[in-house]
Amino acid sequence: MSMISKWLKKKESKELLTKLETVKELMPTADITDFFSKLMDTYSESQITKRELAQIHAQKEILILEIQNKYDLYHSVFDKVFAERRVAIDKNFEIIDKGLASGDKDLISMGLQNLSKVVSSSPFGNIQQLSNMLEGNKIIEI
């Protein structure tokens, strides 16, 4: 440590002691001790609050990630469910078109019956089972 640094430290220490002496004249020692004790308690509470806020923030981030993952899963499941229905409807219209082109009433009738079944059945008919599967911790292959 250089001589200047030592002198500055000494000067800072003297200034601090002078300030403490001034405070001591204004406030009794017991009050100063009580003040610093309360100050330390407040600091400790502040640190606890910061940790709690960090924990809440982390929990929020986890929940947001879980919600996003559920959204992605539901979106994918419903996309697949309705894609299957779209394929089935398109196939039935192909059958109907073939029947119309060839004049085959049986083919037309079969296409219309199958189309009616697809359209009248709800993909949400067994929504509770689907919901249980989606909410469970099972792997679902889509």
Residue 118: the pLDDT is: 85
Residue 127: the pLDDT is: 67
Measured from the Cβ of residue 111, the count of other Cβ atoms closer than 10 Å reads 21
Residue 33: the pLDDT is: 78
CA 36 to chain CA centroid, Å, is 41
Residue 25: the pLDDT is: 65
pLDDT mean by block of 10 residues, the chain; 142 residues:
56 68 66 81 93 96 93 85 88 92 91 88 70 67 56
Residue 55: the pLDDT is: 97
Phi (first) and psi of residue 123, to 5 degrees: -70, -10
Instruction: Return all residues near 104 (Cβ < 8 A) that are at least 6 apart.
Output: 98
**pTM metric for this prediction:** 0.51
Instruction: Return all residues near 94 (Cβ < 8 A) that are at least 6 apart.
Output: 111
Residue 101: the pLDDT is: 92
Residue 23: the pLDDT is: 65
CA 79 to chain CA centroid, Å, is 22
Measured from the Cβ of residue 95, the count of other Cβ atoms closer than 10 Å reads 19
- Extents of the domains making up the chain: 3-135
